[in-house]
Amino acid sequence: MQEEIIISGFGGQGALFAGQLLTYAAMDHGFYVTWIPSYGPEMRGGKARCTVVVADAEIGSPLVRRPSSAVVLNLPSMEAFGPAVKPGGVLIVNSSLVPTRSERDDIRIVYVPASDTATEMGNVRLANVICLGALVQATSILPLEAIEQALEDHLPERHRKLLGLNREALHKGASFAGGE
C-alpha cells in the first residue's frame, strides 16, 4: 500500500499542519512516511501545500505528481490539483471556498463546507482538520482514532486548549464522507 496525498490552500489555512498531523499519525502507526511542505514567501495568503506519502514499505521517492488523494482548501488549489488526482482516487473539496464542481467521474469527490462548519464551531481555522477527517474517512488510510491520538501527542502546547474542538472537527469532517 502506498498513498500519495496533496493538501493545498492559502497560507494560514493550515494545509501544512493537516499534513503533519496525518504524517505523525501514520508514523505512530508504524508506516513509512514522507512530508514535504511547499509555500510562498508570504506568511498568510500565499500558496501553501504539502505532500504526504504513507506506505507499508520503504518509499522510493517522496515526490508526488499524480496523487491518489488531494485536499483542496481554495479555488486555486482545486484548479491545480483536482485534475491531477489519479483515477480511482479521492478529492476532498472545501466547498465553502470552492464554488465550482469537478466534472470528473473517475474519482470520488467529497464536498465539505469546511470553512462554514468551522465558523459555526467558533473557529474558522478548524477547516483543515474538518477536511482531514473527511479524507481519513473517505480513504480509510488510517482509523480516525489514529488522528485523534496524533492530536493528543503532537498538538503544540500553545494550541492545547483547542484539543477538544479539533477532535470534534475531525468527526464532523468524517461525517461528510459517510462516517459516524
> Rounded to an integer, what is the distance from CA 8 to the centroid of its chain?
8
Report d(CA 119, CA 106) in Å as an integer: 32
**C-alpha cell at position 101:** 464542481
pTM of the model: 0.92
Please check whether residue 44 is in contact with residue 11, taking contact to mean a CB–CB distance below 8 angstroms: yes
Predicted local confidence at residue 85, as pLDDT:
97
- Name the average pLDDT for the chain: 92
User: Stretch 10-36: mean pLDDT, rounded?
Assistant: 93
Q: Is 172's pLDDT higher than 80? A: yes
Report d(CA 70, CA 77) in Å as an integer: 9
- What CATH number does residue 97 fall under? 3.40.920.10
Q: Is 42's pLDDT higher than 60? A: no
Please check whether residue 135 is in contact with residue 108, taking contact to mean a CB–CB distance below 8 angstroms: no
User: Stretch 108-112: mean pLDDT, rounded?
Assistant: 97
Predicted local confidence at residue 45, as pLDDT:
64
CB atoms within 10 A of CB 112: 27
Predicted local confidence at residue 44, as pLDDT:
60
Please check whether residue 127 is in contact with residue 106, taking contact to mean a CB–CB distance below 8 angstroms: no
Q: Is 22's pLDDT higher than 60? A: yes
Q: Is 123's pLDDT higher than 80? A: yes
pLDDT grade for 180, boundaries at 50, 70 and 90: low
Predicted local confidence at residue 179, as pLDDT:
60
Predicted local confidence at residue 43, as pLDDT:
57
Mean pLDDT check: name the lowest of 80-94, 109-123, 150-164.
Answer: 150-164
User: Stretch 26-53: mean pLDDT, rounded?
Assistant: 86
CA-based nearest residue to 79, from 126, 112, 47, 113: 47
- DSSP letter, residue 120: H
Place of cell 482531514: 132
Domain count, the chain: 1
Predicted local confidence at residue 47, as pLDDT:
83
Angstrom distances, CA of residue 51 to CA of 5, 14, 120, 165: 6, 13, 29, 25
User: Stretch 156-170: mean pLDDT, rounded?
Assistant: 87
In one-letter notation, the amino acid at residue 105 is D
Domain extent for 81:
2-176
**Longest CA span, the chain:** 43
Helix (H) or strand (E) holding 91: strand 90-94
